[in-house]
């Protein structure tokens, strides 16, 4: 045995072993992407370098042998710098998406590709669990979210984006109408957290913290939870029965609620802080924004959210027959469509830009028009005119579009001397909402009049008090933004309660160059949209407009997904090392060496664009299997692992053993996506059954000369068992 020291730890190792083997045997991790004990040492990736005292150059630990008295440092400044450069060079030539654009564009970072794929396979329960990792109110959010995920969906480059939001609602509805999933909570920590506000932000923070094992009580000024989801979204878009079911699931996790309890009247932030280990302020923005237009104080002029809240609470104002709504967002759409349902004969939407610039969802704009709403584009209120203190008409300034402003939309400018007047019985101002400042007088506010909260840690001017949602920083935004903040805030609070540092570093991920993607081989399939009630029926009631997906429609729509994100994301060795160091591959950016191509057979999909030339596939095929189906073809920068003469895999001697897939560290070789649905069997792959958690699970086993090479989860039990490949191997061998 050889005596040596690694990172200050004295260890022994068999004579003739490598530094890498000695380190791993003693729980010391040295990264490498080209090493596997099944094949000969190659040393291609350059990541396993270490520094040894008395030796001037860095050593490749996969090949350097241990020596008596050797003192090794695996994480010295010089070693780390060398690994960073090696990783940057590797990543600069790696053309692949770690995560799908839809997930990156979702403020809550929901794994859209994951749950859409599960729906395509008919695994609705699994889809729901994926969604609930990030969104505790999926049935509600699926109905009301303006779906920024869909704006980033690459399917739009073929024809239309995937209907992601409606698929989320579908999976959640299936769950609500069956044996609803309630997440398992960790053991109680003994820590208490108070949440002020039961809107989407407060409910989400309470849910996450309860699942983490903390005791959470939510205080709300209204008689029911939901915040703007309940009191700001009309029934025809979000039935409150759906919201109630989702809140009841949150309650089942252990969250406690105190209703009709208002901050500043029934308690203070300091009083809650005295009784709890942390406080989260999520009071929302309940005050309608002013247009600062003459006549705004007249009777019959209402704030958008005040109007909607009154209708939902059964206190709808008498709006008369002629109603004008000022604004172009989703609140304006909610207000105008609600006015139609209250019986108004003429409902106008006054908007200072054109239809193309409206921030409201296109579906909402179109459905409102179908229901009889009249749009007054390129007009802006100059004054609200009254008689005996009651609004009677609006004078509109005619506008035209000028140069783009900071939002990227063309700026509306007045047309000199051109106005228009329309008679109205009431006006609804739906131009935004803001915080009621008096409610949070204990906290420091910013120049916008919102709570000043750290954007990373969410802490406020009072220690142990955190703030999220519409009441903070930039002000009101969409519900999914508040839920995303609640998730991050819950993790920050959990770290605070445990006396730990909260890591805000954004992990590195690889993204494809959008301009290089070719969609010409994709078959065009029209987007499937759920059926809706006819316009002449829905405009007379508050029944839900959308009828939702059928199972067949949901699976068909989900099957349109291009699966942009890498299926190997959660076990990618390349990404694991990339996120270990603070790297900047763009400084070596240049022409990509391999073209993004696909080559597949019944089992294996090959994508050279993700390859880092570690050689494991070529070496395992040659040295372990003695098949030689792959080789390193080309020279220099253009080298890539490929069958000879660029033949397709199914025209080689490949026996689908899957060893290359198992060893590939990057996702350049993966099991075909169709394996998720049905794996064809041949002489190399047999169907077998094992016991997992008391249930019989189906797996597909690939063998060579009696040796188990690969185990593929074959049904929902084995896929969701949470077992590693090694554990599945063990079950098969047993």
Please state the separation of Cα 354 from the chain's center in Å. Answer: 31
Percent of the chain with pLDDT over 90: 74
Give 63-117 pLDDT, tens digit per residue: 999 999 999 999 999 999 999 999 999 998 888 899 999 999 999 999 999 999 9
What is the arithmetic mean of pLDDT over 583-604?
75
Do residues 705 and 733 touch, judged by C-beta distance below 8 A? no
What is the arithmetic mean of pLDDT over 589-600?
68
| Structure tokens that stand for 471 in this block | 């009441």
Tell whether the model's pLDDT for residue 421 goes beyond 60. yes
Flag the least confident range among 69-73, 330-334, 430-434, 607-611.
607-611
Tell whether the model's pLDDT for residue 673 goes beyond 90. no
| Global pTM value | 0.86
Distance CA 72, CA 70 (A): 6
Domain residue limits, the chain: 2-75, 101-182+508-558, 192-285+435-497, 287-432, 679-734
Distance CA 610, CA 93 (A): 8
Flag the least confident range among 220-234, 463-477, 500-514.
500-514
Tell whether the model's pLDDT for residue 404 goes beyond 90. no
Q: Identify the CA nearest to 567 among candidates 479, 655, 666.
A: 666
The secondary structure of 348-389, three-state, reads: EEEECCCHHHCCCCHHHHHHHHHCCCEEEECEEEEEEEEECC
Instruction: Give the pLDDT band of residue 625 (cuts 50, 70, 90).
Output: confident
Q: Identify the CA nearest to 263 among candidates 64, 438, 485, 503.
A: 438
Q: What pLDDT, on a 0 to 100 scale, did the predictor assign at position 716? A: 61
Longest dimension (CA), the chain: 101
Q: What pLDDT, on a 0 to 100 scale, did the predictor assign at position 608? A: 86
Query: What is the average pLDDT score of the chain?
Result: 90
Give 465-480 pLDDT, tens digit per residue: 999 999 999 999 999 9
Tell whether the model's pLDDT for residue 500 goes beyond 60. yes
Q: What pLDDT, on a 0 to 100 scale, did the predictor assign at position 710? A: 57
Distance CA 422, CA 291 (A): 18
Task: Spell 292-315 as b/e; 16+ CB within 10 A means b.
Answer: ebebbebebbbbbbbbbbebbeee
Domain at 287-432, CATH from 3.40.630.10, 3.50.50.60, 3.40.50.920, 3.30.70.20: 3.50.50.60
- Greater model confidence, 602 or 100: 100
Same fold for the pair 192-285+435-497 and 287-432: yes
Output DSSP code: residue 345.
S
Domain at 2-75, CATH from 3.40.50.300, 3.10.20.740, 3.40.50.720, 2.60.40.10: 3.10.20.740
Which three-class secondary structure state does DSSP give residue 635? Answer: coil
Instruction: Give the pLDDT band of residue 681 (cuts 50, 70, 90).
Output: very low
Block residue for tokens 């599960």:
118
- Greater model confidence, 661 or 331: 331
Which DSSP string corresponds to 417-437? EEEEEEE-SEEEE-S-EE--G
Distance CA 87, CA 588 (A): 11
Q: Which residues contact 699 (CB under 8 A, 6 or more apart)?
A: 687, 688, 689, 690, 711, 712, 713, 714, 718, 728, 732
Do residues 347 and 319 touch, judged by C-beta distance below 8 A? no
CA distances from 344 to 173, 372, 721 (A): 33, 10, 56
Instruction: Give the pLDDT band of residue 430 (cuts 50, 70, 90).
Output: very high
Output DSSP code: residue 143.
H
Q: What pLDDT, on a 0 to 100 scale, did the predictor assign at position 709? A: 53
Which three-class secondary structure state does DSSP give residue 399? Answer: strand
* H or E stretch at 699: strand 695-704
Q: Which residues contact 520 (CB under 8 A, 6 or more apart)?
A: none
Tell whether the model's pLDDT for residue 621 goes beyond 80. yes
Q: What pLDDT, on a 0 to 100 scale, did the predictor assign at position 695? A: 74
Tell whether the model's pLDDT for residue 484 goes beyond 60. yes
Instruction: Give the pLDDT band of residue 506 (cuts 50, 70, 90).
Output: confident
Tell whether the model's pLDDT for residue 704 goes beyond 60. no
Q: Identify the CA nearest to 371 among candidates 407, 331, 334, 408.
A: 334
Q: Does domain 101-182+508-558 have CATH number 1.10.3470?
A: no
Ramachandran region of residue 637, left (φ > 0), alpha (ψ -120 to 50) or beta? Answer: alpha
Tell me the pairing of strands 301-303 and 287-288.
unpaired
Tell whether the model's pLDDT for residue 187 goes beyond 70. yes
Block residue for tokens 């039935």:
239
CA distances from 533 to 302, 310, 541, 598 (A): 29, 25, 10, 43
In terms of C-beta density within 10 A (0-12 exposed, 13-18 middle, 19 or more buried), how is residue 660 classed? buried
Please state the separation of Cα 610 from the chain's center in Å. Answer: 23
Q: What pLDDT, on a 0 to 100 scale, did the predictor assign at position 728? A: 66
From first CA to last CA, the distance across the chain in angstroms is 34
Distance CA 696, CA 679 (A): 18
Which DSSP string corresponds to 250-303? HHHTT-EEE-S--BTTTB-HHHHHHHSSEEEE-----EEPP---TTTTSBTEEE
CA distances from 15 to 4, 19, 55, 63, 68 (A): 11, 11, 19, 13, 9
Phi, psi of 212 (to 5 degrees): -75, -10
Distance CA 15, CA 376 (A): 85
Distance CA 169, CA 180 (A): 14
Tell whether the model's pLDDT for residue 675 goes beyond 50. no
- Greater model confidence, 629 or 384: 384
What is the arithmetic mean of pLDDT over 241-266?
97
Q: What pLDDT, on a 0 to 100 scale, did the predictor assign at position 711? A: 61
Angle at 121 between CA 117 and CA 126, to 5 degrees: 70
Tell whether the model's pLDDT for residue 678 goes beyond 50. no
CA distances from 441 to 263, 286, 455, 471 (A): 10, 16, 20, 12
Measured from the Cβ of residue 591, the count of other Cβ atoms closer than 10 Å reads 6
In terms of C-beta density within 10 A (0-12 exposed, 13-18 middle, 19 or more buried), how is residue 103 classed? buried
- Greater model confidence, 348 or 624: 348
Phi, psi of 466 (to 5 degrees): -115, 160
Angle at 147 between CA 142 and CA 153, to 5 degrees: 120
Please state the separation of Cα 91 from the chain's center in Å. Answer: 23
CATH of span 192-285+435-497: 3.50.50.60
Q: What pLDDT, on a 0 to 100 scale, did the predictor assign at position 682? A: 45
Q: Identify the CA nearest to 234 among candidates 322, 340, 160.
A: 340
Q: Which residues contact 243 (CB under 8 A, 6 or more apart)?
A: 137, 139, 140, 226, 229, 230
């Amino acid at each position: 045995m050889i005596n040596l020291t690694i990172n200050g730890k004295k260890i022994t190792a068999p004579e003739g072993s490598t530094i890498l083997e000695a380190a791993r045997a003693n729980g010391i991790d040295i990264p490498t992407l080209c090493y596997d004990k099944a094949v000969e040492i190659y040393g291609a990736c350059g990541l396993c370098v270490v520094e040894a005292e008395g030796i001037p150059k860095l050593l490749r630990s996969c090949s350097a042998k241990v020596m008596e008295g050797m003192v090794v440092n695996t994480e010295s400044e010089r070693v780390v710098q060398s690994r960073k450069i090696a990783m940057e060079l590797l990543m600069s030539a790696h053309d692949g998406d770690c995560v799908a654009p839809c997930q990156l564009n979702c403020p809550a970072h929901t794994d859209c590709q994951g749950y859409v794929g599960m729906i395509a396979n008919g695994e609705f329960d699994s889809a729901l669990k994926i969604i609930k990792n990030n969104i505790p109110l999926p049935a509600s959010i699926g109905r009301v979210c303006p779906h920024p995920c869909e704006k980033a969906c690459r399917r739009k480059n073929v024809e239309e984006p995937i209907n992601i939001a409606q698929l989320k609602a579908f999976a959640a509805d299936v769950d609500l109408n069956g044996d609803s999933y309630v997440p398992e909570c960790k053991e109680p920590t003994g820590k208490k957290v108070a949440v002020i506000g039961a809107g989407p932000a407060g409910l989400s923070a309470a849910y996450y913290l309860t699942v983490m094992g903390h005791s959470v009580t939510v205080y709300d000024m209204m008689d029911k939870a939901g915040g703007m989801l309940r009191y700001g979204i009309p029934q025809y878009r979000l039935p409150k029965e759906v919201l109630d079911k989702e809140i009841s699931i949150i309650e089942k996790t252990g969250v406690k609620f105190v209703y009709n309890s208002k901050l500043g009247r029934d308690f203070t932030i300091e009083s809650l802080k005295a009784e709890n280990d942390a406080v989260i302020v999520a009071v929302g923005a309940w005050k309608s924004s002013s247009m600062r237009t003459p006549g705004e104080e007249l009777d019959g002029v209402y704030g958008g959210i005040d109007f909607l809240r009154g209708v939902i609470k059964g206190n709808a104002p008498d709006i008369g027959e002629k109603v004008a709504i000022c604004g172009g967002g989703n609140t304006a759409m909610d207000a105008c469509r609600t006015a139609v349902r209250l019986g108004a004969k003429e409902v106008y939407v006054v908007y200072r830009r054109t239809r193309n610039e409206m921030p409201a969802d296109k579906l909402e704009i179109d459905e409102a028009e179908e229901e009889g709403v009249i749009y007054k584009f390129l007009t802006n209120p100059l004054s609200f005119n009254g008689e005996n203190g009651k609004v009677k008409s609006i004078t509109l300034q005619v506008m035209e579009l000028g140069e783009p402003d900071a939002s990227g939309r063309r700026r509306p400018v007045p047309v000199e001397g051109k106005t228009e007047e329309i008679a109205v019985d009431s006006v609804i101002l739906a131009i935004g909402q803001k915080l009621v400042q008096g409610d949070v007088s204990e906290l420091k506010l910013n120049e916008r009049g919102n709570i000043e909260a750290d954007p990373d840690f969410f802490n406020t001017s009072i220690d142990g008090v955190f703030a999220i949602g519409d009441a903070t920083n930039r002000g009101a935004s969409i519900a999914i933004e508040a839920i995303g903040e609640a998730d991050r805030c819950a993790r920050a609070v959990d770290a605070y309660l445990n006396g730990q540092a909260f890591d805000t570093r954004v992990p590195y991920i690889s993204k494809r160059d959008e301009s290089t993607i070719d969609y010409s081989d994709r078959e065009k399939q029209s987007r499937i949209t759920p059926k809706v009630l006819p316009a002449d029926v829905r405009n007379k009631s508050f029944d839900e407009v959308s009828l939702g997906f059928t199972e067949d429609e949901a699976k068909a729509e989900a099957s349109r997904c291009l699966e942009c994100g890498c299926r190997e994301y959660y076990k990618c060795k390349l990404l694991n090392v990339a996120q270990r160091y603070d790297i900047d591959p763009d400084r070596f950016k240049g022409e990509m060496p391999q073209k993004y191509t696909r080559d597949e057979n019944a089992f294996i999909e090959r994508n050279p664009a993700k390859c880092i030339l570690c050689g494991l596939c070529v070496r395992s095929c040659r040295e372990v299997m003695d098949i030689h189906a792959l080789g390193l073809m080309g020279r220099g920068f253009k080298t890539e692992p490929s069958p000879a003469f660029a033949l397709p895999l199914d025209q080689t001697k490949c026996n689908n053993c899957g060893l290359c897939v198992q060893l590939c560290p990057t996702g350049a070789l993966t099991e075909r996506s169709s394996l998720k649905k049905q794996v064809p069997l041949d002489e190399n792959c047999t169907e077998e059954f094992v016991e997992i958690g008391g249930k019989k699970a189906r797996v597909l086993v690939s063998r060579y000369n009696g040796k188990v090479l690969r185990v593929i989860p074959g049904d929902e039990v084995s896929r969701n068992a949470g077992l590693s490949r090694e554990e599945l191997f063990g079950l098969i061998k047993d």
